[in-house]
Structure 1
Amino acid sequence: MAHKVVREFKDLKHDGHIYKVGDTYPKEGSKATKARLEELSTTKNKYKKVYIEEVETPKDKE
């Protein structure tokens, strides 16, 4: 599954990269831990906001 950004944020875990709504997370060449994906896809973070959502890709349907 891929993740799409639903709220703009600056990711301090990826060199301060700014993710804009609609971007794929993580950026190309970067990896995210399961814990980081959970932190960003739920309200279990400092700001209590959802930043990414899981989206189905054509590869997932195979």
Structure 2
Amino acid sequence: MTRDGLSLVFAALADPTRREILSQLSGTPSTVGEVAQRFEISAPAISQHLKTMRALEEP
């Protein structure tokens, strides 16, 4: 991963909601709906957070 890529990862993980989602998903796989139930934000908002994190995956 390039330095620029590493900066993107840190920027994405700077969001506390994304860190909590990542923590939850590291234990067991969950659907977007299951993850959204744990937060006071909508399922589409959770989907957007997941989309941001997925964009960081290496091909």
TM range (shorter): under 0.3
Q: Give the structure-2-normalised TM-score.
A: 0.27
Task: Select the structure of larger CA radius of gyration.
Answer: 2
Q: Give the structure-1-normalised TM-score.
A: 0.26
Structure having the larger proportion of residues in helix:
2
Structure having the larger proportion of residues in strand:
1
